[in-house]
Structures are given as structure tokens and as C-alpha cells.
Amino acid sequence: MTRYDLPDFAPDLLAAFATRRAERVHTPVIQPADPFLDMAGEDLRRRIFLTASETGTSLCLRPEFTIPVCLRHIETATGTPKRYAYLGEVFRQRRGGAEEFYQAGIEDLGERDVASADARAIVDAMDLLRVVLPGQAQTLSLTLGDQAVFEAVVAALGLPVGWQKRMIHAFGDVGHLEALLDRLARPQPVTGLDPEIEALLSADRQDDLIARLERRMEETGYSTNASRSPAEIARRLKEKRELAETRLDGSALLLLREFLTLRLPLAEASAALAGFADAADLKLGPAIAAFDARLAALANAGADLSAMTYRAAFGRPLDYYTGMVFEIVASGGAEVLAGGGRFDRLMTLLGAQSHIPAVGFSLWLDRIEALRDAAQGKTGEPE
């Protein structure tokens, strides 16, 4: 498949979308850049092709479909629940691969039965791969993670809110998480502050600190265009100092590291999480209950749990995910064929007037095409 060719199995996907009552939508190739820069995460931000309008508005070539589909839903004031399907080109800077390629997928917006919607996204992703990879269903394996469970563990350990935010932001990035754990084990003092400001912080003289910052801003002329007030800067300095001085005791660090090493068949994950919570004396009830409900919904949908693995540290490199995330690969392969997850906060961040729960997934059609080509080359027969 060249980078401009629509895969020959595209009609099969469109037919499968229709049977799943997912309305196909089209979104412009040129998109406003800010939503992606603000909400998509560092991994995608550095791959975006940026440009600007005549008026200086930041624009980009469409790097993915979730944000454009959500924006379209908000703009058209369509009610929920609503299922959307898409199939089209995305544009990303990639090493060793085409920078223009096709993705397809489904976004499920507004379904209040979260467990059932999660299960449906997983089952639909697996089923669609079976449609376009006939004869290779037994080679597919799925890895699942759950940010909500991780958030519950971090909260139960009693970390300050600022540290909880840091840890949650790093979820799925093993290297970043390990660096944060090292900092919690060996706190480093804040350095480079003006001695007077340092003294005021140490003495917790908040009013004097704000007055000193205000004078400094006036002396430098910074106050004329400052984006933060002296009070806000003082609050941020205090918060930064407190976070830098936070230390997690050895037993709590061991518990967090133990949790992050959990990796087992999905069918065994609920019991393992409950056992971990009991042994660690952590209150994880609501998060584990939601996890159990999703597992039950998967079983009711006939999902093959033996082809699925739970990894406590697994996440996906998009900042807007909030709960369950998953990826599907072919056994022995490293490239993701399908991936998705839950993004319950995204709709509100994009401008929706009310909370809209959401989950979805995408298929990487160039990678699927490569697998099909490889299968044909081995057999010498058309599919």
C-alpha cells in the first residue's frame, strides 16, 4: 500500500461499521491546532504538521480522529448516546514510515453504561481486525490497562494532590514513572531562588512574599504583561517547594512498585487487584468494582479473555485518556494494529456544556495491510 492508496479492505470495514450502527462522519483535513497541542500529549504534539491561517491562527494537518469527531459532535449539537465511525487519512511525522496513512475507528459518545461501552469497544476492535485479517484471529493479543485503578492506588497511598497529578500524567510512561518514584524516595530541594524569597517561603510569610514579588515585578516591568498575579506566583512557589520536599516512605514505595509490576491474564486480574488491596490495606473498592463490571460485560459479550492481558502500568501516549485503555497486536509483532480507551473528560474540555462519557478505538490500516501482504506472500494464494 502506498501512502495515498485506500486499502482494498476498506469496503469491508464500512460494512462492519454499518452493522454496528455507527454513523460514518467526515472531518476536515485541516484542523485547529490548539486542541491537539493542549490535550493530545507530548508524543503526538512532536509529530504534528503545523501551519497557520492568514490571520495567524494555528492550524495542523489532522493527526488523529478522536478530537475532530468530538469537536464535530459539539458543533452540530447532536444528542447522545451516539456512535460515530470514521475512515480517512491522518498525518504524522514518523521515522521509517509513511507520514500520510489511513486510520479507521469508532467513537462511542454518551453511553452511560460505562462497563458495557468499554466492553463493546474492545469486542468491536477485535471483531473488525478479524474481518480484515481473516485466518489470523488466533494470532491477535490484547493488552489492557486502567488509569482509574492507578489513580485509586496513588490516592490511597496519601500522596499530595500535586504529586498525584504528576503520577497520573506519567501513567503509561514507565521511564517517567520510575524517575518520579526515585524523586519521592530521595527528595531534592528547590534551588536557584532569590535568598529573600527563599527566606520568606521557609518562614511561611505568605503576605510578605506576595508583596516582595509584586515589588520585583514592578521593578522589572514584568507586571505590565504578566500572565500570573503575585499571589498566584507565590502559591505556585509554595506548592513547588512542598512537592519537592515530599517523601514517600519505603513501604509505600514498595507497594506502588509492586502494583506497577502486576501483569497477568485478564481473567485473573480482578482477584489479583482485590488481593493486592487487601494485603496493602488500601481502599480501592469503587475502582475495583468498575473493573469487575467491565470484566463481566466482556464475558457477557463473548470476549475471549484468554487472548487478553492486564498490565497495571500499561497506558497509551495520549493525555486525554481517563480510564480503560487497550492495544491489540499480532502475536510476535510489536506494532499496534488497534488501540483505544476511555476519555471521559475530553468532551467538556473541548466545550461540551455537560459531561459526556466517551470511549473509542482506532485501527492502523497501513499496518494491517502489511500483515495481509505478508500472509499472502507466505501462502502464495489470494485471501
Write out the three cell numbers for 319: 493525555
Hunting for cell 492486564 — which residue is that? 310
Find the radius of gyration of the CA atoms of the chain: 24
Hunting for cell 487472548 — which residue is that? 307
Locate the DSSP E strands across 247-383: 263-265, 308-311, 324-330, 338-342, 358-364
Annotated binding residue at 107?
yes
**In which region does residue 73 sit, left (phi positive, over 0), alpha (psi from -120 to 50) or beta (all else)?**
alpha
Annotated binding residue at 92?
yes
Crossing angle of the two packed helices 285-300 and 114-132, in degrees rounded to 10: 40
How buried is residue 108: exposed, middle or buried, by Cβ count under 10 Å (0-12/13-18/19+)?
buried
Looking at residue 275, the DSSP 8-state letter turns out to be H
The separation between the first and the last C-alpha atoms of the chain, rounded to the nearest angstrom, is 16
Annotated binding residue at 42?
no
Distance CA 292, CA 47 (A): 36
Q: Which residues contact 136 (CB under 8 A, 6 or more apart)?
A: 130, 330, 371, 375
Annotated binding residue at 102?
no
Q: Which residues contact 183 (CB under 8 A, 6 or more apart)?
A: none
Annotated binding residue at 205?
no
Do you find a cis peptide bond into 189, omega within 30 degrees of 0? no
Distance CA 191, CA 206 (A): 19
Write out the three cell numbers for 41: 500529549
Annotated binding residue at 94?
no
Distance CA 110, CA 342 (A): 12
How buried is residue 191: exposed, middle or buried, by Cβ count under 10 Å (0-12/13-18/19+)?
exposed
State which amino acid sits at residue 254: L
CB atoms within 10 A of CB 40: 21
Annotated binding residue at 316?
yes
Pick out the residues of the known binding site.
64-66, 92, 103, 107, 316, 320-321
Residue set of the binding site for L-histidine = 64-66, 92, 103, 107, 316, 320-321
